[in-house]
Structure 1
Amino acid sequence: MAKPMDFKIYVDQACRAAEEFVSIYYETMDKRRQALTRLYLDKATLVWNGNVVTGLEALTKFFDTLPSSEFQVNMLDCQPVHEQATQSQATVLVVTSGTVKFDGNRQHYFNQNFLLTAQSTPDIVWKIASDCFRFQDWGSS
């Protein structure tokens, strides 16, 4: 009987972490891009529309090339990743989708997947281990 409640607590914690993270991530992307890499692990990997970027230095250079943005998240889903798959590291899969305008250009649909891992500082801080962003413009004309 204890197992289902434990799992529900784990899921609830993952959902709270994901909601807080998504709010911080997209606000930082839109308004304080220079601070965005603070949300990533040192050896994090980003796949942006099929282009791979690894490590904080490369991420900083990449984000500097992007024009200003206006993200609107329309959907958020999350789930904890089983500890057997992550060597007992607390990990959450976060999936978002919505729309983005870069530098006032036309709106694009996007989806983005994050793997977040809990980092122990005085408090728990969730950092991005893996990030996959993809435009979904196949449905627009």
Structure 2
Amino acid sequence: MTTSSAAITIAASAADEAAEELNKSYYTHLDSKRHQLHKFYVPGSTLAWCGNEITGDVNISKFLQDLPETVHEVKSLQAQPIEAQYSQGKTVILISVDGRVFIEYKKGRRMHMFSHSILLAEYDGKWKIARENYRLNESAYTETISSLGQK
């Protein structure tokens, strides 16, 4: 089965819109409204957070609420629709996000680079997170800072 060029363009546009929508609201909730994060997930979602796997929207929400305070800055956002023939007949979107996150530790804030891969699936007429992988990327760029305003 081949997909027409027009269908691919429409799917890519829809994927970009879904990624932008998620970017606008998800990281705001992750940084300051964690108690509402469950609404971003399908009930059987799976999160792999720095190697820790959590399953279920309620469990994911609870896990994220228990993390230290964060401030995310997205530097790169890419979306790719996955054709139904490769995803058990369902419409899904793969989103790749890179950026930096400031984490509040007991001894001060620390900046990390992060990578976040998100698989969105249509659920009850809305795009929701079905699976995601979040990683802190330790590198030469990791540094301790005294305030969020410093760069």
TM-score, normalising length: structure 1 = 0.91
Distance in 1 separating the partners of 2:140 and 2:4? 42
Distance in 2 separating the partners of 1:48 and 1:64? 13
Aligned to 1:39: 40
Q: Kindly name which structure, 1 or 2, has the bigger radius of gyration based on alpha carbons.
A: 2
Residue identity matched to 2:94 = L
Residue identity matched to 1:99 = R
| Paired residues for 1:37-76 under 5 Å | 37-76=38-77
- Classify the secondary structure of the residue corresponding to 1:139: coil
CA RMSD of aligned residues (A): 1.5
Deviation at 1:60, TM superposition (A): 2.5
Deviations 1:34-66 (Å, cap 9, x if unpaired)? Answer: 001110111100001111111123213211211
Q: Give the gaps of 5 or more residues in structure 2.
A: 143-151
Aligned to 1:105: 109
Does structure 1 residue 12 correspond to structure 2 residue 13?
Answer: yes
Deviations 1:65-97 (Å, cap 9, x if unpaired)? Answer: 111110000000110011012122110000001
Higher share in helix: 1
Distance in 2 separating the partners of 1:56 and 1:73? 23
Deviation at 1:32, TM superposition (A): 0.7
Distance in 1 separating the partners of 2:123 and 2:61? 21
Aligned to 1:94: 95
Residue identity matched to 1:70 = V
User: For the Cα contact (< 8 Å) 2:70–2:102, is it kept in 1?
Assistant: yes
Residue identity matched to 2:117 = N
Distance in 2 separating the partners of 1:36 and 1:62? 10
Q: Give the gaps of 5 or more residues in structure 1.
A: none
User: For the Cα contact (< 8 Å) 2:42–2:123, is it kept in 1?
Assistant: no
Deviation at 1:140, TM superposition (A): 2.6
Q: Work out the percentage of aligned pairs sharing the same amino acid.
A: 31
Aligned to 1:119: 123
Deviation at 1:22, TM superposition (A): 1.4
- Classify the secondary structure of the residue corresponding to 2:28: helix
Residue identity matched to 2:7 = D
- Classify the secondary structure of the residue corresponding to 1:138: coil
Distance in 2 separating the partners of 1:86 and 1:70? 33
- State how many pairs are aligned: 137
